[in-house]
A and B are shown apart, each in its own frame.
Chain A
Amino acid sequence: AQSVTQPDIHITVSEGASLELRCNYSYGATPYLFWYVQSPGQGLQLLLKYFSGDTLVQGIKGFEAEFKRSQSSFNLRKPSVHWSDAAEYFCAVGDSGGGADGLTFGKGTHLIIQP
């Protein structure tokens, strides 16, 4: 069965500093990988996704993520965070083998931005 681990429950970053959120997955083949953001009182919004090809993917709001097969990782990065980036971030894996279509999510990383 597939699984996702987000090792950091909380991360605090100063505004303007760089950010990296970690995500490790367990899956038998190359999975479909996603990062979602959930702001307070809002639904989940897709930031970016990886299916195949270039391992560095660009998303919305200035985020990017890099797929590293050897490390089973899909870490999310942003060069300079803004106060509006404070939110809950979820990494997710989808079945690329034609199985169940629900996504498997990590438990999330809560991002706090310090002024």
Chain B
Amino acid sequence: GAGVSQSPSNKVTEKGKDVELRCDPISGHTALYWYRQSLGQGLEFLIYFQGNSAPDKSGLPSDRFSAERTGGSVSTLTIQRTQQEDSAVYLCASSFGQGSYNEQFFGPGTRLTVL
């Protein structure tokens, strides 16, 4: 079956613009996660969804970041008024259920460059 897919694979934008990053999880996976991978910071957990609900949004770096999930499937991560420090690879993962003991399957990521 298909793995986790993300689009676009690459996104170049100008400072101040808004961007939307999309994640399609593995079919049947109820939990979905967003991470950010940047130079010097490693992999940073941003937010997770169980179904369409995100119980804890405190990992989002600022109020310019938001995420939603609809139909228990596709998720979008939106960054408003992008800044250069937002440049990173944004990774999405999904798992069969919630809880860290469920293996998270990662997508290939979206590389965001803010000029």
| A-chain residues with CB within 8 Å of residue B108 when the two chains form the complex | 41-43
Dominant secondary structure at the A interface: loop
Chain B 7-45 residues near chain A, CB threshold 8 A = 31, 33, 35, 41-45
B43 touching A43 by the CB < 8 A rule? Answer: no
Name the contact of A43 in the complex, choosing from B4, B42, B47, B59 (C-beta under 8 A).
B4
B100 sits at the interface (CB 8 A): yes
- Provide the A90-111 mask, 1 if CB < 8 A to any CB of B, else 0: 1010111010111111111000
- Provide the A36-80 mask, 1 if CB < 8 A to any CB of B, else 0: 100001111110010100000000000000000000000000000
A101 touching B106 by the CB < 8 A rule? Answer: no
Closest to A94 in B: B100
- Given A43-B4, A43-B109, A44-B91, A103:B42 Cβ within 8 A: no
| B-chain residues with CB within 8 Å of residue A49 when the two chains form the complex | 103
Q: Which of B44, B100, B107 has the most CB of A within 10 A?
A: B100
B91 touching A43 by the CB < 8 A rule? Answer: yes
A97, chain B: closest CB distance, angstroms: 9
Interface size on A, residues (CB 8 A): 25
- Cα–Cα distance between A46 and B45 once the two chains are bound (Å): 17
Number of contact residues on B: which range applies? 20 to 34
A43 touching B31 by the CB < 8 A rule? Answer: no
A102 touching B48 by the CB < 8 A rule? Answer: yes
| A-chain residues with CB within 8 Å of residue B98 when the two chains form the complex | 101
Complex A-B: 19 CB contacts under 8 Å: A32-B101, A41-B108, A46-B103, A46-B104, A92-B43, A94-B100, A95-B100, A100-B48, A101-B31, A101-B33, A101-B48, A101-B99, A102-B33, A102-B35, A103-B45, A105-B43, A107-B41, A107-B42, A108-B43
- Cα–Cα distance between A23 and B35 once the two chains are bound (Å): 20
| B-chain residues with CB within 8 Å of residue A95 when the two chains form the complex | 100
- Cα–Cα distance between A80 and B33 once the two chains are bound (Å): 34
- Given A43-B109, A105-B43, A51:B4 Cβ within 8 A: no
- Given A32-B101, A44-B91, A96-B100, A105:B4 Cβ within 8 A: no
